[in-house]
Amino acid sequence: MVDELVADYLARLDRAAQVLAPDRRTELVEEIRDHITQARASGTVGDEAAVRTLLDRLGDPDEIVAAAREGEPVVPPAPAGTWAPPQPWPTRRPSIGLEIAAVLLLTVGSIIPLVGWLIGVVLLWSSRRWTVVDKLMGTLIVPGGPLAIALLAVVVPGQVCSSASVTQSDGSIVDGPTTCTGTTLGPFGPAILVFWLVAPFVVGGVLLRRARLRADREPWIPVAPSSGSSRWGGLEIAAVLLLGLGSFLIPVVAPIAGLVCAWASTAWTSREKWIATAILGCGLLLPVVVIVAARIR
Amino acid sequence: MEPGETRNPLTQLRRGVLEFCVLALLREEERYGFDLVRRLGDIDGMVTSEGTIYPLLSRLRRDGWVSTSWQESEAGPPRRYYAITPAGRHALSGFGLEWQRFRDSVDALLQTGGGRGGHDG
C-alpha cells in the first residue's frame, strides 16, 4: 500500500514533468525519488499516514514542475512586476590599505624619529591579517625602524680616535698613546648597519605579501548599489574640509575635530579612518619633532 | 476578498529569498538534499511544498552557487550532498547586506508610518 502510494505519486510527477527538457525531467524525478527514499531510510516514515504526510509536504507534482519551469533557461517573458533572477552584486577585492600604511610607516615612516615607527606598530597590531608571529617580526626587526638607525648613525658620532703628540727630551716628536671616544660596533659594525637598514624592508615585503594572500582568501566586499553621492553627507564634507583647509586656518584643533567627524561617519571603513589618523598623527607631530630637534642643537 | 496563494505578494517575496536561505543553511557545512529540504520545510512560513526546493537546488547548481557530491551514508543509499561555492558565498554576503537595508527600511516604515521625515546623516 505504502509503495503503491509512492509509485503513484512519482508517476504523476513524471507525467507532469513531460513539459520539461528530458534531462531535467529525469533529474527532477530522481531527486524526489531520493528524497522519499532518504525519508523512509531515516526510519521516521513507516506507516501509511507518515508516507501520506511526507507526500503532502512534498507538494502537488504540478506545483513542483511549475517551480522547475520557472528556472528554465528559455522562459516566456515574465509580466512586469514579477520577481527577476538576482543579478550578481558588484563587489570589490578586499583592500590592504591598513597593511600598506603600516609597512610604509615601519620602514620609510621611521624618518620621523620614533613617532612614525610607533604609529606603524599600532597599525601593524590592529590588522587582523597578520598572525602574532608576523606582528612580533614586524615589531622586533628592527625597533625604531631603519631610518631611525640611519639618523642615529649620523647624529651619534662614531669612534673618534686621537693621539696627543709628545715632544720627547731629545727634541723628536712622537705620537703619544691613542685615546678613543664614542661607541663602536666592532669589526662587524658595517654588516650590522646594513642588516638594520635592509632587514626591515625585507620584513615589510614579506608582511605585505602575506597580507595580500590572506585578503584574497576573504570574500569580496559587496559594494552597495547606491554608493557614490549618497554616501556623502554633511559630516563627511565637514571632516574633509577640517582635515584639509582647517589645518591651515586653525592648526591642531581643526584637524583633530576633522578626525572626530571622520570617525563618527559611516561612509568610511575603519581601515580608511586608521590611515587618515596615522597620516595626520605624523603631520601633527612632525613640527614638534623639528622644534625639539632645533632646541637641542 | 481572499488573496489566492499565487496572487499573494508574500509568495513572490518568499520565492526570491528562499535561495539565499538555502545558501545560508550551507554556509557552515554541506548538507544532503533531504536534510536541507526538511530544515527549510520546518521553518515557519518558509515553504508550502518541499518538492519545489529541488528545482531551486538544481538551478543554484547550474548557476554555480552550490556544488554537489555523492557520499556514502551509514544508513541507507548514498546521499547527494550540497555545498556552497565561493560564488555562492559572494552572492550570499551581497544579499545579506541588501536584505538588512531592505528589512530595516520596511520595519521603520511599518512602525512609524514614515512619520519621522528626513534621513540621518
Domain-embedded: residue A101: no
Report the alpha-carbon distance of residue A71 to residue B68 in Å, rounded.
18
Give the confidence band of A97 by pLDDT, cuts at 50, 70, 90: confident
> Count of alpha carbons within 13 Å of B68, Cβ hemisphere only?
16
Domain-embedded: residue A280: yes
Which pLDDT belongs to residue A80? 47
Which pLDDT belongs to residue A68? 87
Domain-embedded: residue A197: no
Cβ distance of A42 and B34 shorter than 8 Å: yes
Report the alpha-carbon distance of residue B111 to residue B105 in Å, rounded.
10
What does B20-88 look like in DSSP terms, one character per residue?
A: HHHHHHTSSS-EEHHHHHHHHHHSTTT-S-GGGHHHHHHHHHHTTSEEEEEE--SSSS-EEEEEE-HHH
Report the alpha-carbon distance of residue B42 to residue B39 in Å, rounded.
5
Element housing A176 (H / E): strand A173-181
For the segment B38-51, the average pLDDT, to the nearest whole number, is 86
Which pLDDT belongs to residue B28? 92
Are A117 and A106 a contacting pair, CB within 8 Å?
yes
Which pLDDT belongs to residue A174? 65
Which pLDDT belongs to residue A213? 86
Residues A238, A177 share a domain? no
| Helical packing angle, A48-58 and A2-16, nearest 10° | 20
- Strand-strand pairing, A221-222 and B79-84: unpaired
Report the alpha-carbon distance of residue B104 to residue A232 in Å, rounded.
20
Sign of CA dihedral B54, B59, B60, B61: positive
Are A70 and B79 a contacting pair, CB within 8 Å?
no
At A19, list the grid cell: 513539459
Which pLDDT belongs to residue A270? 78
Among A99-103, A186-190, B70-74, the least confident range: A186-190
Residue spans per domain, chain B:
9-111
At B94, list the grid cell: 551581497
At B64, list the grid cell: 554555480
Cβ distance of B91 and A235 shorter than 8 Å: no
Alpha helices for chain A (secondary structure H): 2-16, 22-41, 48-58, 61-70, 97-106, 115-126, 132-140, 146-155, 189-217, 234-244, 246-249, 253-264, 270-296
At B41, list the grid cell: 520545510
Question: Is the predicted pLDDT of residue A225 greater than 60, yes or no?
Answer: no
The answer to whether residue A14 neighbours chain B at the CB level (below 8 Å) is: no
Name the β-bridge partners of B31. Answer: B82
Question: Is the predicted pLDDT of residue B26 greater than 90, yes or no?
Answer: yes
Q: Which position has the higher pLDDT, A166 or B28?
A: B28
CATH number for the domain running over B9-111: 1.10.10.10
Cα Rg of chain B (Å, integer): 18
Give the confidence band of A195 by pLDDT, cuts at 50, 70, 90: confident
Between chain A and chain B, the number of residue pairs with CB atoms below 8 A apart is 111
Domain-embedded: residue A29: yes
Collapse the DSSP code of A46 into the 3-class scheme (helix H, G, I; strand E, B; otherwise coil) and give the result: coil
For the segment A213-227, the average pLDDT, to the nearest whole number, is 70
Which pLDDT belongs to residue A73? 40
Are A158 and A148 a contacting pair, CB within 8 Å?
no
Question: Is the predicted pLDDT of residue A159 greater than 60, yes or no?
Answer: no
The answer to whether residue A92 neighbours chain B at the CB level (below 8 Å) is: no
Give the confidence band of A256 by pLDDT, cuts at 50, 70, 90: confident
Q: Which position has the higher pLDDT, A291 or A79?
A: A291
Q: Which structural domain range is residue A9 located in?
A: 2-86
Tell me the one-letter amino acid at A146.
Answer: P
Count of domains observed in chain A: 3
Backbone angles phi, psi at A135, to 5 degrees: -70, -40
Are A138 and A206 a contacting pair, CB within 8 Å?
no
Question: Is the predicted pLDDT of residue A154 greater than 80, yes or no?
Answer: no
Which residue does chain B place closest to A225, by CA atoms? B98
C-alpha torsion A230→A233→A237→A242, nearest 10: -150
Cβ distance of B86 and A68 shorter than 8 Å: no
Which pLDDT belongs to residue B14? 82
- ∠ CA A172-A178-A183, nearest 5°, is 160
Mean pLDDT value across chain A: 76
Which pLDDT belongs to residue A13? 94
Give the confidence band of A289 by pLDDT, cuts at 50, 70, 90: confident
Residues A247, A179 share a domain? no
Cβ distance of A83 and B80 shorter than 8 Å: no
The answer to whether residue A37 neighbours chain B at the CB level (below 8 Å) is: yes
Closest Cβ opposite residue B58 in set A27, A37, A43 = A27
For A20-44, how does the pLDDT look when each residue is reduced to its tens digit (9 = 90+)? 888 889 999 999 998 998 888 876 6
Report the alpha-carbon distance of residue A112 to residue A128 in Å, rounded.
26
Read off the pTM. Answer: 0.44
Domain-embedded: residue A91: no
The answer to whether residue A267 neighbours chain B at the CB level (below 8 Å) is: no
Q: Which residues of A touch B89 (CB under 8 A)?
A: 219
Which residue does chain B place closest to A220, by CA atoms? B90
Question: Is the predicted pLDDT of residue A77 greater than 90, yes or no?
Answer: no
| Most A CBs within 10 Å, among B54, B73, B81, to test the A interface | B54
- ∠ CA A232-A256-A233, nearest 5°, is 10
For the segment B26-54, the average pLDDT, to the nearest whole number, is 89
Collapse the DSSP code of A183 into the 3-class scheme (helix H, G, I; strand E, B; otherwise coil) and give the result: coil
